[in-house]
Amino acid sequence: MRTLKWIVFSFLSLLLLGVLSFYLYLYQSRWTADIDLCGWGKTFPYYVASDYYQVNFLDLKNHFISNTKSSDLNTKKDFIIRIRFLMNCNGEIGQFKVKSYDFDYREIDLSPTISKHFTDLLANYQKWTPPLLANGEAANIHAFYSFRIKQGEIIEVLPK
Amino acid sequence: MKWLKITYNVLTVSLACVILLFCASLAFPVTRGFYFLSIGGQLCYNGFNDIGSSISHYGIEGELSDIAELQRSFSVQHTKNGNYHLAIKALEKAKELDPEVKAYYGWVLLYYYRDYERAYQILDEYDRLSPNFSDPVVGENVNYLKGLAQLKRGNAKLAIHEFTTYIDYVSATAGEEWVDVYAFINRGTAHLKLAEYTAARQDFKKAIKHYDECTEAFYLMAQSYLKEEKVDSAKQAIQKANSLMERGWKHEINYVESFHEIYPQEVERLRQKLKSRLLK
């Protein structure tokens, strides 16, 4: 019985240590992010939070569409560019991660100037309000925007 | 004291059994796959996108890769996180394993990817699995969704045909009051695109009949009146739309923009346009 107790105790200790290390490994990217995340850095998906726009999604879409010319994209290819980002409970954004796809949803490499164009536009858009959860508490969120580009024009901005 | 000792020993043995079962389950590829899938999914939900994707992707490979429903479930969080390459690859695989997945695949391509060509093609394939029947799809209807895809592709006439199939089917089987109000709104929009203003207004009026606070119907009605230079009627409709909008009445979806979403600045722009027209 005493051996069994020791086995259980050792296993639980190892499990706890493993979970703790994994937790630290996960959150170290949050604690070293280019924005200060509130609390321990937990983030909720964008669709859990209420509206975080000062104006609305249409205003954001117009911001991207009116500030993007065919010459900024400098390619004849059709593609989708997706930017993931974090927003803290004060409505500040950061930690952009860009991926691009062709229209068959295969990953492609885009010119860094195109990625920079979109991340700069997102960084320059500062009309955010703190994202609120259903209980009224301000929270960090993770979100993304993706842009469908056809013949040098933004035809869709997703998701909302 | 004796009972405390017994309870303590029972707890230790139970815990040992649980640990043993957990370790044993890790030996089976299917349960191991489930663990990776669940943990990866949770990590993605909490925003640890890269590591979450890798872990859940590992879970879906191997023994679990031939289960269509798991491939579909795997795709859900990846669609919501914008990991399109992972989600679409899983949905393509799920579609091959089970043609019924086409319903969800078409729906998600329409709403979350706005890939109207492909969404129409897949929804049509799904629709042809059971001809002469207007199938339900993710709480909506296949003809309604095909209508939305056609409308967005610029095929207004084909869109009207699909919306009408849906509206007639529900009206005949359950009654017109069970038709999604926004089917009238979208069919009306298709009529607007074809400059069939009277037909468009008939649809908007039907939407209002079933939902009298339908801001979209009043807004689009104002547009149709304006196209025919009926400025007074347009003004009345836009005022109603504006008052509803001010009270926060508009159709919204948490995850994506709706197909008939209108915004306060659009209502205001039309209101100002009508104001200036009356002054002339």
For residue range B31-51, list pLDDT tens digits in order: 888 888 899 999 999 999 989
| pLDDT for B22 beyond 80 | no
Averaged pLDDT, A110-135? 93
Position A40 confidence tier, pLDDT thresholds 50, 70, 90: confident
CA dihedral A69, A71, A76, A81 (to 10 degrees): -60
Q: Is A84–B82 a contact, with Cβ atoms under 8 angstroms apart?
A: yes
Q: What is the pLDDT of residue B279?
A: 54
Contacts with B255 from chain A: Cβ below 8 Å: 47, 159-160
Residue A57, min C-alpha distance to chain B (Å): 8
Residue A59, min C-alpha distance to chain B (Å): 9
**Facing residue for B45 by CB, picked from A45, A57, A86:** A45
What's the whole-number average pLDDT of chain B? 91
Q: Mind listing the pLDDT tens digit for each residue in B82-117?
A: 999 999 999 999 999 999 999 999 999 999 999 999
Q: Mind listing the pLDDT tens digit for each residue in A47-84?
A: 999 879 999 999 999 999 999 988 878 777 899 999 99
Q: Where are the alpha helices (DSSP H) in chain B?
A: 2-26, 29-45, 49-60, 68-80, 84-97, 101-111, 116-127, 142-153, 156-173, 181-193, 197-210, 215-227, 231-246, 264-279
For residue B239, the tally of other CB atoms under 10 A from its CB is 15
Backbone angles phi, psi at B214, to 5 degrees: -85, 90
**Facing residue for B19 by CB, picked from A8, A158, A159:** A8
Q: Mind listing the pLDDT tens digit for each residue in B55-65?
A: 998 888 877 88
A57 touching B (Cβ < 8 Å)? yes
Q: Mind listing the pLDDT tens digit for each residue in B119-175?
A: 999 999 999 988 877 788 888 999 999 999 999 999 999 999 999 999 999 999 999
A5 touching B (Cβ < 8 Å)? yes
- Tell me which chain A residue has its CA closest to the CA of residue B6: A1
A84 touching B (Cβ < 8 Å)? yes
Contacts with A59 from chain B: Cβ below 8 Å: 265
| pLDDT for B236 beyond 60 | yes
Q: What is the pLDDT of residue B156?
A: 96
Q: What is the pLDDT of residue B277?
A: 75
Q: Mind listing the pLDDT tens digit for each residue in B206-234?
A: 999 999 999 999 999 999 999 999 999 99
**Facing residue for A160 by CB, picked from B46, B256, B266:** B256
Q: Mind listing the pLDDT tens digit for each residue in A26-38?
A: 888 778 778 899 9
pTM, two decimals, is 0.90
Contacts with A57 from chain B: Cβ below 8 Å: 257, 263
State whether residue B66 is helix, strand or coil.
helix
Position B278 confidence tier, pLDDT thresholds 50, 70, 90: low
End-to-end CA distance of chain A: give it in Å, rounded: 59
High-pLDDT (> 90) share of chain B, %: 72
Q: How far apart are CA A158 and CA A153, in angstroms?
A: 15
- Tell me which chain B residue has its CA closest to the CA of residue A5: B12
